[in-house]
């Protein structure tokens, strides 16, 4: 849709006030600026909060309204309501786009969420066979189509969440059909989610602001990294009992396929995003497999310290990765993983060997002294990044060039 400045620019060209070459350069600059700027970049924080809150309340209200009157509606009215709801939200967003692009982004996001609810309700309406992974796949395909057409971040975020959810749901049904134990069923998707979070976190590179698509991937990976790491670490404490290993041996083809997808798909995404640097994602996958292998070795051979040392190495490796590519978010998350590893080691291995009072005193001293030392080191790392990026920006005359989405 043409905006007001485009009409004004054309009037100036028609009046002879601007040459066509200058007008074309202005239009190209504006298009690049709008493409690279996130939605709502010029809005204040309270307005952004109101837009997000309004979108959430609107979606919740629509769902409650439909749920309250769903049983009273005839099947034709139900299906028409689903279509009209999705089309109406996207239509309102298209009308609001020229004047309020941020409100249009929020309405498109609510429309994409309503489409997902419509997929499952349509399956219930037509009494289709209950197969909820297919619903997630259709929802993800709709979000992907919305991203292709709109190029807005909510659709890409939904796509990034829904496709892994579909794979996990398919894996869950396959494990139930094969009667696999819970530990073997859960371990594969947890490993895949951790590796995927690392790959998404590493989507941008360089010191400049990331393009919009990679910025969305960065946020999704950064938010998911710590929960995925915690779930993986907790699950490694649960070793499958000996009576289930015969069952695991009988299901080796299914497990091999699951591990191939859990590790191969994130590595393929890493190659598509960062072809020259995808080998670092391969190292992350190797670290993950070694952490899994440590749980199968006898405890007397490994000792209680080695798994924690391996996690500490992983956190410091993430810090080194951030320093090498000048990304402060990886430095911060790596420092958080290192701190969590030290705190977990103290809580699981040291506190149980001390009296209650001594263990609390030690925990307090660890939080105060260790937190101060870690924060001091983290500031040094970030100061090193600032020292490295300053000369580069001075030589380039501004921010570092961005990658293409």
Burial 228-256 (b: 16+ CB within 10 A, else e): bbeebbeebeeebeeeeeeeeeebeebbe
What is the band of 189 on the pLDDT scale with cuts at 50, 70, 90? Answer: very high
Asked if 61 and 143 sit in the same domain, the reply is yes
What average pLDDT does this structure show over 198-217? 82
The pLDDT value recorded for residue 358 is 65
- Provide the mean pLDDT of the chain: 77
The pLDDT value recorded for residue 75 is 73
pLDDT digits (tens, 9 = 90+) for 119-176: 877 777 666 566 778 888 888 998 999 898 888 888 999 999 999 999 999 898 888 8
Asked if 290 and 344 sit in the same domain, the reply is no
User: Is residue 82 assigned to a domain?
Assistant: yes
Asked if 70 and 119 sit in the same domain, the reply is yes
The pLDDT value recorded for residue 393 is 46
Asked if 291 and 321 sit in the same domain, the reply is no
Backbone angles phi, psi at 98, to 5 degrees: -65, -35
The pLDDT value recorded for residue 119 is 82
User: Is residue 363 assigned to a domain?
Assistant: yes
What is the band of 296 on the pLDDT scale with cuts at 50, 70, 90? Answer: low
Q: Is the pLDDT of residue 77 over 90?
A: no
Segment among 67-81, 295-309, 332-346, 369-383 with least mean pLDDT:
295-309
The total of other beta-carbon atoms located within 10 Å of residue 148's CB is 11
User: Is residue 368 assigned to a domain?
Assistant: yes
User: Is residue 326 assigned to a domain?
Assistant: yes
Helices (H), 151-244: 153-178, 182-201, 212-236
Q: Is the pLDDT of residue 404 over 50?
A: no
- Number of helices (H), then strands (E), belonging to the chain: the values are 17, 0
**pTM for this one?**
0.74
Asked if 161 and 221 sit in the same domain, the reply is no
- What residue numbers bound the domain in which 290 lies? 188-197+215-233+260-295
- Looking up tokens 């009215």, which residue turns up? 77
The pLDDT value recorded for residue 362 is 67
The pLDDT value recorded for residue 86 is 84
Q: Is the pLDDT of residue 242 over 60?
A: no
Taking only Cα atoms into account, the Rg of the chain, rounded to an integer number of angstroms, comes to: 26
The pLDDT value recorded for residue 383 is 76
User: Is residue 94 assigned to a domain?
Assistant: yes
Q: Is the pLDDT of residue 10 over 50?
A: yes
User: Is residue 288 assigned to a domain?
Assistant: yes
Backbone angles phi, psi at 205, to 5 degrees: -145, 165
- Of the candidates 208, 205, 228, 226, the one whose C-alpha atom is nearest the C-alpha of residue 217 is 205
Asked if 65 and 140 sit in the same domain, the reply is yes
User: Is residue 43 assigned to a domain?
Assistant: no
Asked if 64 and 140 sit in the same domain, the reply is yes
User: Is residue 143 assigned to a domain?
Assistant: yes
Please count the structural domains in the chain: 3
């Amino acid at each position: 849709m043409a905006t007001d400045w485009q009409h004004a620019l054309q009037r100036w060209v028609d009046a002879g006030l601007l040459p066509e070459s200058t007008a074309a350069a202005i239009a190209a600059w504006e298009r690049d600026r709008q493409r690279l700027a996130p939605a709502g970049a010029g809005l204040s924080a309270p307005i952004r909060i109101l837009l997000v809150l309004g979108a959430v309340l609107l979606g919740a209200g629509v769902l409650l309204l439909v749920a309250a009157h769903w049983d009273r509606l005839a099947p034709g009215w139900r299906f028409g309501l689903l279509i009209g709801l999705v089309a109406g939200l996207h239509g309102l967003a298209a009308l609001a786009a020229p004047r309020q692009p941020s409100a249009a982004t929020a309405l498109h996001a609510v429309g994409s969420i309503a489409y997902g609810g419509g997929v499952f309700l349509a399956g219930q309406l037509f009494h289709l066979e209950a197969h909820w992974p297919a619903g997630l796949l259709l929802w993800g395909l709709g979000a992907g189509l919305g991203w292709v057409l709109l190029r807005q971040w909510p659709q890409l975020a939904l796509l990034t969440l829904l496709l892994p959810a579909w794979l996990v749901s398919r894996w869950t049904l396959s494990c139930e059909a094969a009667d696999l134990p819970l530990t073997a069923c859960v371990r594969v998707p947890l490993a895949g989610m951790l590796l995927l979070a690392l790959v998404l976190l590493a989507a941008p590179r360089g010191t400049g602001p990331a393009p919009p698509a990679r910025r969305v991937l960065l946020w999704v990976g950064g938010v998911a990294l710590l929960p995925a790491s915690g779930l993986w670490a907790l699950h490694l404490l649960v070793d499958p009992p000996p009576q289930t290993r015969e069952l695991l041996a009988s299901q080796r083809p299914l497990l091999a396929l699951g591990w191939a997808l859990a590790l191969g798909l994130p590595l393929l995404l890493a190659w598509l995003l960062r072809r020259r640097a995808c080998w670092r994602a391969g190292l992350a996958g190797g670290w993950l497999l070694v952490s899994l292998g440590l749980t199968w070795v006898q405890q007397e051979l490994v000792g209680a310290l080695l798994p924690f040392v391996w996690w500490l190495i992983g956190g410091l490796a993430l810090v080194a990765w951030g320093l090498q590519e000048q990304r402060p978010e990886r430095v911060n998350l790596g420092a958080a993983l290192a701190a969590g590893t030290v705190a977990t080691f103290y809580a699981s291995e040291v506190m149980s060997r001390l009296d209650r009072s001594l263990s609390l005193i030690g925990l307090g001293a660890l939080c105060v002294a260790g937190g101060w030392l870690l924060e001091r080191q983290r500031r040094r790392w970030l100061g090193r990044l600032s020292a490295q990026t300053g000369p580069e920006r001075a030589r380039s005359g501004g921010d570092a060039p961005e990658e293409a989405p």
